[in-house]
Amino acid sequence: MEPLMAIVIGILFAAAIYMMLRRSIVKLVIGLMLLSNAANLLIFATAGMVRGAPPLVPQGLTAPEGAVADPLPQALVLTAIVIAFGVLSFAVVLVRRAWEIVRADDLDKMKDTDT
């Protein structure tokens, strides 16, 4: 599964970067969302993808029986998902405020301080 995911993640990154290079700020924000999702998947998939063995300790035992999925990348990704949401909500509200004031969705029209 990992090689397939490698290709998928490459495409997600490419899509994210393409969108981040657009002049429209809304597209830039969409690019950021794609990028954070792609990065999360990258960390998750690189650690190895295991079917049907969640990192849980069964009741009454001190350690899981047999191999389980690596819990550390999962913890990292979990943190990343939440932070990405925080950043996204801030960015979206910022874009909205910028639109209200500058009335432009074009980054090129916002590069000077006096607009």
CB of 64 to another protein, least distance (A): 7
CB of 111 to another protein, least distance (A): 4
- ∠ CA 83-102-20, nearest 5°, is 45
| Rg of the Cα atoms in the chain | 20
How many residues bind another protein, per CB under 8 A?
88
Show contacts with another protein in window 14-53 (CB under 8 A): 14-24, 26-28, 30, 33-34, 37-38, 40-42, 44-46, 49-53
What backbone phi and psi angles, to 5 degrees, belong to 53? Answer: -135, 70
Provide the minimum distance between the beta carbon of 91 and another protein in the complex, in angstroms, as a whole number: 9
What span, in angstroms and rounded, lies between the C-alpha atoms of 66 and 50?
Answer: 12
Residues 6+ positions from 88 with CB-CB distance below 8 Å = 29, 32, 33, 36
Using CB under 8 A as the binding rule, the residues of this chain from 53 to 112 that contact another protein are: 53-59, 61-64, 68-72, 74-75, 77-79, 81-90, 92-97, 99-100, 103, 105-108, 111-112
